[in-house]
């Protein structure tokens, strides 16, 4: 009965709680199937032994019944030969065989009932094993799908969201640098233009002074300009 109580414990266990505690649900499912397969193998051996015991008792009873019939025939033959002593001895042997047969009968019936019950339990266990194997493939597929879904979800949260936020931050910094570069270019352009104009004004005044001095040295200035 220990084998069947173990099987009952397996099927009565809270599978969801077991899987929650397991580090790897797929490995846990595989281990459960292995345990049930081992139980099936042990139960099959136990059933085989029970059937062998039943058949052994059946053969013993048949043998005692055959011996009883043989001793009965021998007693009859002894009486026909006027050998009461031999007939009595044969009948004593017959009585012993009858007692043995009678004593073995309830043991045989119990063994037969036990083997029938164990065969029925073995059939149920095999059906359960087939069911668990079928459910195992389904649960493994669900487990793999859940793992994939979890990985996808993690890519958008935790490390994933942090990576996206950093990307946005770097993009903002680059845009700021680009804006500053444009501003400095504009400022540099305005400064260059102002310097150019100032240089032009300075150069123009110098040229005008030199032109006036040259005209004066050549006596080409009007009298009014000479007075000035």
Check residues 38 and 154 and name the one with the higher pLDDT: 38
d(CA 50, CA 119): 9
Q: How many domains does the chain have?
A: 2
pLDDT single digits (tens) 126-136: 888 888 888 87
Q: Are 23 and 67 members of one domain?
A: yes
Is 156 strand, coil or helix?
coil
Structural domain including 23 reads 2-155
d(CA 53, CA 60): 11
Q: Are 151 and 175 members of one domain?
A: no
Q: How many CB atoms lie within 10 A of CB 44?
A: 15
Q: What is the length of the chain?
A: 228
Whether residue 76 is contained in a domain is answered as yes
d(CA 36, CA 6): 9
Q: What mean pLDDT do residues 90-113 have?
A: 95
Write the CA distances from 9 to 52, 108, 136, 225, integer angstroms. 28, 31, 18, 128
d(CA 147, CA 150): 5
Most confident residue range from 32-36, 65-69, 179-183: 65-69
Count H helices, E strands: the chain? 6, 0
Whether residue 161 is contained in a domain is answered as no
């Amino acid at each position: 009965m220990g084998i069947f109580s173990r099987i009952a414990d397996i099927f009565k266990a809270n599978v969801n709680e077991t899987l929650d505690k397991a580090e790897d649900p797929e490995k846990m499912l595989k281990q459960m199937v292995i345990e049930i397969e081992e139980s099936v193998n042990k139960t099959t051996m136990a059933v085989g032994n029970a059937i062998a015991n039943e058949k052994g008792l059946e053969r013993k009873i048949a043998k005692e019944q055959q011996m009883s019939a043989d001793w009965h025939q021998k007693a009859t033959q002894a009486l026909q030969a006027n050998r009461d002593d031999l007939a009595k001895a044969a009948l004593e042997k017959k009585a012993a065989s009858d007692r043995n047969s009678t004593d073995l009968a309830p043991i045989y019936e119990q063994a037969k009932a036990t083997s029938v019950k164990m065969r029925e339990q073995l059939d149920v266990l095999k059906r359960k094993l087939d069911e668990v194997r079928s459910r195992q493939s389904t649960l493994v597929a669900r487990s793999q799908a859940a793992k994939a879904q979890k990985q996808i979800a993690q890519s958008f949260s935790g490390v994933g969201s942090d990576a996206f936020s950093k990307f946005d931050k770097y993009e903002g910094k680059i845009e700021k640098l680009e804006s500053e570069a444009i501003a400095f270019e504009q400022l540099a352009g305005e400064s260059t233009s102002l310097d150019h104009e100032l240089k032009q004004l300075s150069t123009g005044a110098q040229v005008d002074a030199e032109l006036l001095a040259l005209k004066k040295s050549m006596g080409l200035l009007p009298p009014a300009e000479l007075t000035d």
